[in-house]
Amino acid sequence: MLVSLVLANLKLIYRDRQAGFWAIAFPLIFLLIFGLFNFDDLEPLFHLNELGIQGKPVGYFDFLLPGIIGMGVMTFSIIGMGTTIAQYRQQRVLRRIQATPLKVRTFFIGQVLAWLILSLVQTAIIMGAGTVIFRAVIYGNYIWAVPLVLLANLTFLNLGFIVGSLSKSVQAASGLGNLLTMPMMFFSGVFFPTDNLPSIMAYAVKYLPLTLLLEALRGVLLAAQPLSDFSIQLVMLGSWVAVTAMIAVKTFKFE
């Protein structure tokens, strides 16, 4: 039952053009824009070579690629899940599910598993495009990106559930989702290191889930550090998962 539900959800998400835009087109547009230009002059400003292994420099596009991965996963999950839940509530799909033998818990587990699978596919596509087409350099182990993306994405999916629960329409969910994702996209280190922000703002965004994800991603991919070096980020991401899950349960409504 659960496998069939996951497959059905994957098909529904695949057919959703809006979800496809946020999953693939949106991050790839940023890759294209930044990949077509030379930003070498920015490297001394951002001290990017400090992120690489000794003797192996890190360029701006190398720095940018993990940021685009994190941004893509975040926007896809928060806005995609938020609008999906809002649509289900608006069309009374969730209420009808309660009248079937299908357990509500199984329904939501199937939803989460489907979105987690797609987040890994999305990550692979973005990383493949960045390294193959635009020659981004990755010094670390690609495999370490998998647990990081999955853990952070649980937080983003929980935020998507909250957005869908608080929104009365799909349009409202899209707007509220953008309200959550835009500040993190611009201030959590997607396009430039957070230490270039004013000190107060740098401290404020330090504990945001996207900031934590990007710190760990860049460490394992660009500096070839083991995942164990980021135990603090992992614990804090786990805390985000727990807190947002509790809020999602409290705010969720079938009607």
Task: For residue range 208-219, list pLDDT tens digits in order.
Answer: 999 999 999 999
* Tokens read off for 100: 């079937």
Q: State how far Cα 46 lies from the chain centre.
A: 23
Per-position b or e across 128-138, b if 16+ CB within 10 A of its CB: ebbeeebebbb
3-state secondary structure of 27: helix
Please compute the mean of the pLDDT values over residues 108-133 and round it to a whole number: 88
Task: Give the orientation angle of helix 145-166 with respect to helix 60-90, to 10 degrees.
Answer: 40
Q: Mean of the per-residue pLDDT values for the chain?
A: 84
Please compute the mean of the pLDDT values over residues 81-108 and round it to a whole number: 79
Rounded-to-integer distance, Cα 88 and Cα 176, Å = 17
Rounded-to-integer distance, Cα 211 and Cα 37, Å = 25
* Tokens read off for 217: 């991603």
Rounded-to-integer distance, Cα 162 and Cα 21, Å = 21
**Res. 137 pLDDT band, cuts 50 70 90:** confident
* Tokens read off for 22: 């946020």
Task: For residue range 53-69, list pLDDT tens digits in order.
Answer: 666 677 788 888 999 99
Task: For residue range 67-77, list pLDDT tens digits in order.
Answer: 999 999 999 89
pTM, to two decimals: 0.87
Please compute the mean of the pLDDT values over residues 25-38 and round it to a whole number: 77
* Tokens read off for 167: 């929104």
